[in-house]
Amino acid sequence: MSGARAVGAGLLLAATILVLLAALWHLQASTLKDPAFLSGWLLLIASFLLGLYGLRKRLTTLPLGRMASWRWAHLTLGWLAIGLFLQHAGWRLPDGASEIALWVLYLALTASGIVGLLLSLYLPRHLRAEGKTTVHDRPPLERARIAQDAEALALASAAESADGLLSAFYAERLRPFFAEDPSPTMRLMGDGGAGDRLTREMAAQARYLDDRDRQRLAEMARLATAKAAIDRSAIALFWLRAWLLVHLPATHALLLTALLHAAMAHAFSGGGP
């Protein structure tokens, strides 16, 4: 099942469960029972089950089922938890310190989760559209190897060519490109067409070179294309990890806050979160 279809299937299943639960809550309300008791405990259980996904990602050597199945279950349970939370909160804004904390944490968790979902759907597909099938997990090492190969070509040209055109062009335009790491702006906005401009400059420079340096420049162009692909891969990897800096701390904080909220509600109401 493709990523988008898995998301749709999970959302449909969660909506179906929520409709059935809504009928049960309506039945409880008609018998003067507080539906917050059921929704609160279901929400607490769902929160802990959602937290198990992070633990499963660390236990890669144990036979605990396919990660794709865990990911789909996590996503489906996440949609379900959103509905449970809104139902438990009574579809109203919070008015106490405990409720405000839960709202803030759930909003942070939900927003970061949706951002992570969109990134996981878009970025791998974007890379595949460019002919890449994997996200590089060692961009600095690969970038350094490419820079060394380009430097060797420039040194060979400087040693053999009398005019020094290629080595001068390399020092002025290509060496900075091969040495640079994608900037925070590039991570967010792209390179602004700098890669295309460099390609055009190399094509224009080739007209002034002899055959041997023209071949070297063509090899540098190939290396530049590979380096640009690695940069895009590094950007994808950066964003695929960056959203977790919000999602994971919010998960841990939410579990602790939800336990505290459940204990306080149980103490003051005699048996409901």
pLDDT reported for residue 101? 87
Given a cut of 60, whether residue 130 has pLDDT beyond it is no
pLDDT at 271: 47
47-56, 157-166, 230-239, 243-252: least confident range: 230-239
For residue 254, give the 3-state DSSP assignment: helix
> For residue 112, is pLDDT > 90?
yes
pTM for the full model? 0.70
The confidence score (pLDDT) of residue 51 equals 85
Residue pair 271/37 in contact (Cβ under 8 Å)? The answer is: yes
More confident residue, 57 or 219: 219
The pLDDT value recorded for residue 18 is 81
Structure-model confidence comparison of residues 125 and 96, the more confident one: 96
Mean pLDDT within 239-247: 89
Q: What would the mean pLDDT of 157-169 be, rounded to a whole number?
A: 91
pLDDT tens-place string over residues 203-238: 999 999 999 999 999 999 999 988 888 887 778 888
Residue environment code for 100-123, b if the CB has 16+ CB neighbours within 10 A, otherwise e: ebbeebbebbbebbeebbebbeeb
Structural tokens at position 225: 């294309």
Torsions phi, psi for 253 (to 5 deg): -65, -40
71-80: pLDDT as tens digits:
888 989 999 9
Q: Which DSSP letter does residue 68 get?
A: H
Q: Does 123 score more than 80 pLDDT?
A: no
12 token code pair:
């449909």
- pLDDT band of residue 94 (cuts 50, 70, 90) is confident
Confidence category of residue 272, pLDDT binned at 50, 70, 90: very low
At 77, phi and psi to the nearest 5?
-65, -30
In this predicted structure, what is the pLDDT of residue 127? 63
Residue 108 reports pLDDT greater than 50 = yes
Q: CB-based contacts of 44: which residues, under 8 Å, 6+ apart?
A: 258, 259, 262, 273
